[in-house]
Chains A and B, each alone.
Chain A
Amino acid sequence: MITPAIEDRPQWADASAGQARAVTPGALDIAHGVILYLDEISVSFDGFKALNKLSLHIDVGELRCIIGPNGAGKTTMMDVITGKTRPDSGKAFFGQTLDLTRLKEPEIAHAGIGRKFQKPTVFEQHTVFENLELAMKMDKRVWRSLFYKLDSEARGRIETVMEQIRLTAQAHRLAGLLSHGQKQWLEIGMLLMQEPRLLLLDEPVAGMTDDETMRTAELFVSLAGQHSLVVVEHDMAFVEKLGGKVTVLHEGSVLAEGDLATVQADDRVIEVYLGR
């Protein structure tokens, strides 16, 4: 299934009338071991309920898969978390204290939620290294960029991420020359450079070969723990390989939750996927 590209465009440039800057995510409070709470979130478009009292929480370091039929509300849920869509009712918190329904999109991004959209967009005329450098978490105002010098610490961080995404050998290759799967990885790497606490990945393996899909699964598993991940995917082999808890969304609310085998055995889930 193809998400229209237009839907994937970040819209917070208008919102950031001032200069975007690196906000210290100091306000993030994860003392209770939970990084994301959604409580009875409802969103409707012209009367149609895309999300219907959706409640969900993600633990720190967790790797969560969200599955569900087309139109279940998975992308809308990510829109709510990243501030792109405001819920009609319900609560959304990042950690204990950050109210996602009040923050603007760049503020949410700087607070530590990174999102990968379905269509990979990397800077094709820049090298892999430069792509990662540009994405790095730092002061991003014009003046700082003019006088910026790459220090060894930053270089080290870029090299670490390049290893994670297996692109070290391609460091000085133009991103435009990478394969589709490598571009997806590079984009994930750019996300990591922003040092998010929570990563939202909407259909990250769409268009990848089986081999690339499995390697992506390995990468995500290795990221869990340090980061919390929410992965939306239709590819069941991939979901199985990730091995985490699975949440099934249907008509805007949670239908079932548990490990993959459990939810696959659930009668209501079978009915939703096969019954119609």
Chain B
Amino acid sequence: MRQSYTERSVRLLGPKGWTAMLAFLALMLIIVPAMHLLAPPDSALHVSNYAVTLTGKIMCYAMVAVAMDLIWGYAGILSLGHGLFFALGGYAFGMYLMRQIGLEGNYHSALPDFMVFLDWKALPWYWQGTDNVVWAIVLTVGVPTVVAGVFGYFAFQSRIKGVYFSIITQALTYAAMLLFFRNETGFGGNNGFTDFKRILGYSITAPETRVVLLGLTALALAGTLLLGRWLVTSRYGRVLAATRDAESRVMFIGYNPLWYKLFIWTLSAALCGVAGALYVPQVGIINPGEMSAASSIEIAIWVAVGGRGTLIGAVIGAVVVNLAKSWFTVSFPQYWLFFLGFLFILVTLFLPQGIVGLYQKLTQRRTPDAPNAPAPTEATPSTPLTQEHAA
């Protein structure tokens, strides 16, 4: 009983999951804001600017990780291009923030500083309308959706799979990074967009603004998780997982995998775009570094560390790895990449089901005679990751 996709997922979202979700929202929407705004700065209860920003940033990453898990864990498609979709959302919303600077830039022009510096007289056509927040939000979701949709259609249509797919997503991201690096393409070159002053007219560094952005990010993350759960527990999710495990068989019983994959792929990209848009005002910068190979690979590592195909594992992985990263980059910046690589190898070798898998193993061992516990011979089903290795 316990092993079916449906039931397994329902259990995860069950009473415990809901309690955790509500506790998380209460923390991010009430407790942290109160501690940031009300507690005096020297009090032990005060949450610093740095902590609020870091929390917001990590929640954005967690959203990206959940989006990645949807496509990697459930559809078996490893994307090494999710940094691109995140950056596209970030840039789209970043331009809105640039326009909000108004005449207060270094050159006191209505154009963003970098354009004045390039001696441009007018906004390029593709940035028209970005002073309108609604249009900026449309771009935030729309651009990653369209890019992923077109790219995915052709890739899935020509049955590009596995490592080939991963490589071309990486190539696409790299090409985009080169494009964004160039000054004359209108994306601010290697500095990207930064020095934001306002959002919707409010000061972007004001504690109240930070707290609102934090709350919005928490809601977006919670929404992403719920949407993901709903998807993977639907019949759609079962077909998707079946496509991952035996695609030709899925076709033979009358499904067209193209549309099944394209839907989750595009949705995943759109979620990354939203995460990017929430990231930019909190972190205060977006630059082509988000499209580097390392950034996209890191996203996959978060998911692998947390545990593929569980959604919550993606969140856990993003949080754990990024907390470690912020500690490392302060204490031993030069060792971070070594540590990350080491962590990835460790997880692949010893924790193929990530932290969530480890947790499940430990809790199951503690209650061997629980009702419905699987007999030892039929141990827990291997996750997709181990499946692939065994196959």
Contacts and interface: CB of A to CB of B under 8 A. Distances in A.
Interface size class of B (residues with CB under 8 A): 35 or more
Contacts of B119: none
A115 B248 CA distance: 13
Interface stretch (A16-24, A28-36, A224-232, A253-261): A16-24
B330 interface: no
A185 interface: no
Interface string B9-30: 0000000000000000000000
The secondary-structure label for the interface of chain A is loop
B239 A10 contact: no
A72 B236 CA distance: 42
Counting chain B CB atoms within 10 Å of each CB, the highest count among A19, A135, A150 belongs to A135
Interface in B255-278: 255-260, 263
Contacts of A142: 236, 259-260, 263
A20 B255 contact: yes
Nearest to A146: B236
Contact of B4 (A13, A22, A172): A172
Given A130-B5, A134-B238, A145-B239, A125 B387 contact: yes
A135 B253 contact: yes
B253 A190 contact: yes
A177 interface: yes
A77 B1 CA distance: 42
Contacts of A18: 256
B260 A129 contact: no
Contact of B259 (A135, A141, A176): A141
B1 A172 contact: yes
Contacts of A150: 235
A117 to B, nearest CB: 8
Interface residues of A, number: 41
B124 interface: no
Interface in B220-248: 231, 234-236, 238-239, 241-242, 245-246, 248
B236 to A, nearest CB: 4
A126 B242 contact: yes
A126 B239 CA distance: 10
Contact of A16 (B245, B256, B387): B256
A112 to B, nearest CB: 12
Counting chain A CB atoms within 10 Å of each CB, the highest count among B159, B242, B252, B381 belongs to B252
Contact of A127 (B3, B236, B258, B259): B3
Contacts of B6: 130
B378 interface: yes
A276 interface: no
A140 interface: yes
A168 to B, nearest CB: 14
B103 interface: no
Interface in A186-217: 190, 194
Nearest to B259: A142
Nearest to B231: A146
B384 interface: yes
A19 B254 contact: no
A125 B252 contact: no
B108 interface: no
A123 B242 contact: yes
B84 to A, nearest CB: 24
A127 B251 contact: no
Contacts of A176: 381
A18 B258 CA distance: 10
B384 to A, nearest CB: 7
Nearest to A187: B249
A148 B234 contact: yes
Contact of B245 (A109, A124, A135): A124
Contact of B248 (A10, A148, A177): A10
Contacts of B250: 134
A202 to B, nearest CB: 13
Contacts of B248: 9-10, 13, 121
Contacts of A124: 245-246, 387
Nearest to B261: A142
A141 B239 CA distance: 11
A95 interface: no
A137 B159 CA distance: 25
A273 interface: no
Nearest to B249: A121
A141 B259 CA distance: 8
A196 to B, nearest CB: 11
Given A110-B254, A174-B3, 5 more contacts: A122-B249, A126-B5, A172-B3, A177-B378, A177-B381
Closest 4 A/B residue pairs (Cβ): A145-B236, A148-B235, A10-B252, A127-B4
Interface of A: 9-10, 12-13, 16, 18-20, 22, 106, 109-110, 115, 121-127, 129-130, 133-135, 137, 140-142, 145-148, 150, 172-174, 176-177, 190, 194
9 contacts: A10-B248, A16-B256, A109-B254, A124-B246, A125-B5, A125-B384, A126-B5, A140-B254, A173-B378
